[in-house]
Amino acid sequence: MLLSRQQTEFYLTDLETPLGKAINLTIAALVLLSSGIFVAQTYAIPDSIRLQLDQIDTVILIIFAVEYVLRLWSAENKLKYIFSFYAIIDLIAIMPFLLGLVNISFIRILRWFRILRLIRFIDSKFLFGSISSEDGIIFIRILFTLFTIIFVYSGLIYQVEHPVNAQVYNTFLDAFYFSVVTMTTVGFGDLTPISELGRLLTVLMILTGVAIIPWQVGDLIRRVVKTANQVETVCLNCGLKFHDQDAEFCKRCGTKLPSQKMD
């Protein structure tokens, strides 16, 4: 049975129903698998295994391309969808495959933006439903955001520096190590880029580290302080879990809260 446009759009964005969860979990798993394949290919592996990984990655890219087409086809406002943040990330993810026939080698840099597709799941408790603490969910999201940024920068610096500086940036781990020490402004200096683009990326890493890391940590501290005097009282209407100890009504929807039992 073929799905209508409305049903297709619903299941591609739904994170509650079994089918919606299955679709989006599959997409998330493919993103991680694709990223893992490229990390593995930065190491010395047999040609036969490399060929098999290339074939798997091609299948994944085809699936991503089909998903993008389905999202575009099912979108009510197609122009709005094309220029939306997630759609741009999806398009960037499949561009290496679409442009691969033209043999543009530099386009391979875009492969590392695939992991940004997982940002879609940060906005819900879809992947973090087993964590009951609000602070725990926030902490996991912050860690994931930081890891994603570092991962993308590591991929970019590897793609830029490895062809001209292979002895220093030999594997993905070398690039990942460089990204971590650069973004945390430790800067040991044992790994240094030699290309102009590599140096530009290093500057962007430092600026990102100075701006993002303190902001993320500060946001976590503010939220921890905010919830220090709160108790878990679940609103029966909207499901908000944490409220002030003396709260009688939900601060989100205004529904009267259940009476809090005193120990």
Dihedral sign (CA 42, 47, 53, 59): positive
Q: What is the residue range of 13's domain? A: 1-119
Q: Does 54 share its domain with 144?
A: no
Q: Does 114 share its domain with 176?
A: no
Give residue 19's Cα distance to chain centre. 22
Q: Does 49 share its domain with 74?
A: yes
Q: Does 4 share its domain with 115?
A: yes
Q: How many CB atoms lie within 10 A of CB 17?
A: 11
Q: Does 205 share its domain with 237?
A: no
The rounded distance, in Å, linking the Cα atoms of 53 and 36 is: 10
Cβ contact 173:155 at 8 Å: no
Torsion angle of the four alpha carbons 236, 241, 247, 250, in this order, in degrees rounded to the nearest 10: -50
The model's pTM is 0.73
Residue 225 included in any domain? yes
Q: Does 93 share its domain with 164?
A: no
Q: Does 95 share its domain with 145?
A: no
| 134-161 helix and 196-227 helix, angle to the nearest 10 degrees | 180
The string of DSSP letters for 202-214 reads HHHHHHHHHHHHH
Cα–Cα distance list, 20 to 9, 67, 120, 136 (Å):
10, 13, 14, 25
Q: Does 65 share its domain with 148?
A: no
Residue 58 included in any domain? yes
Residue 53 included in any domain? yes
CATH of the domain at 167: 1.10.287.70
Residue 125 included in any domain? no
Assign 3-state DSSP to the chain and report helix, strand, coil percentages, each to 5: 65, 5, 30
Count of domains forming the chain:
3
Q: Does 18 share its domain with 63?
A: yes
Residue-by-residue pLDDT tens, the chain, 263 positions = 567 888 888 888 777 788 888 888 898 889 889 889 989 999 999 999 999 998 998 898 889 889 999 999 998 888 999 998 888 888 887 877 777 655 445 566 777 787 877 776 665 555 555 554 556 666 777 778 788 889 999 999 999 999 999 999 999 999 999 999 998 888 787 888 999 999 999 999 999 888 877 777 777 676 666 665 667 778 888 777 777 777 778 877 888 888 755 44
Q: Could you say which of 119, 151, 177 is where a domain stops?
A: 119
**What is the CA angle 237-240-241, rounded to 5?**
125
Q: Does 37 share its domain with 91?
A: yes
